[in-house]
Amino acid sequence: MKRCTNCKAEKSVDSFNIQSLHCKLCVNTKRKIYGRTKKGIVTNIYKGQKSTSIKRGHVPPNYTLKELRPWLLAQPKFHVLHEKWVASNYDIWKKPSLDRLNDDLPYGLDNMTITTWRINFRKQTLRTTKLIKKNAGYKPKEIIQLTMDGCYVAKYPSYVEAIACNKVFQSHLSIACRLGNKNVGGYYWMYA
């Protein structure tokens, strides 16, 4: 047993990361609270940009976190989007995000616009889908949306449109369509 120095609770050793004085629950709560602050959002955006650049084999951002933070905090749109995100009870789709203006260029302060996570996600999904179609002669599968009672709601020509019109993740939608009986976003989904 070990005592968390934050919540003062006595917990099993499994509840702690190695050599941590705080339990995992306290660490995650602290991380979540920080991630919702403006400073935390900037930090997470920067880490995400660096990580994405490495994964895709792109040039890393041409600025540091110390340069990004004042630039982003000086943008009125960032503060407006942050307020809307907070008012939405931290709806992931409304979270402030940065997107490159020209996708062929690396991240740069002169090549970014402030947007929401939903718009950025939708743009990336459309970009990926177009690339797949272009390179593989891809024909998208039609998706049917049903109520929990099995009544028809809508038919979408592809995942992209279904995702764009509903607050669902592509991975969740894909699993639901394959299983045919999985509830995602309050609906059942299936291939046409």
Same domain, 173 and 97: no
Same domain, 20 and 94: no
Same domain, 86 and 129: yes
Per residue in 54-109, pLDDT (tens digit) is 887 888 999 999 999 999 999 999 999 999 999 999 998 999 999 988 877 889 99
Q: Report the Cα 130 to chain-centroid distance in Å.
A: 20
Same domain, 47 and 128: yes
Residue 68 domain boundaries: 42-136
User: Taking the CA of residue 2 as centre, how many other CA atoms within 13 Å lie in the half-sphere pointing to its CB?
Assistant: 16
Same domain, 25 and 64: no
> Pick from 136, 155, 173: which residue ends a domain?
136
Same domain, 10 and 83: no
Nearest to 111 by CA among 126, 98, 129, 120: 98
- State how far the Cα of 36 lies from the Cα of 95, in Å rounded to an integer: 9
Same domain, 65 and 96: yes
pTM here is: 0.64
Q: Given CA atoms 124, 30, 77, 89 in this order, what sign does their dihedral have?
A: positive
- Position 35 confidence tier, pLDDT thresholds 50, 70, 90: very high
Domain count, the chain: 3
Q: What is the pLDDT of residue 160?
A: 73
Give the alpha-carbon dihedral of 93, 170, 30, 14, to 10 degrees.
170
Same domain, 150 and 132: no
Q: Where are the alpha helices (DSSP H) in 9-62?
A: 24-35, 38-56
* Amino acid residing at 108: G
Same domain, 156 and 115: no
Same domain, 47 and 121: yes
| Residue 97 near residue 45, CB atoms below 8 Å | yes
Same domain, 117 and 155: no
Percent over 90 (pLDDT), the chain: 45
Same domain, 124 and 150: no
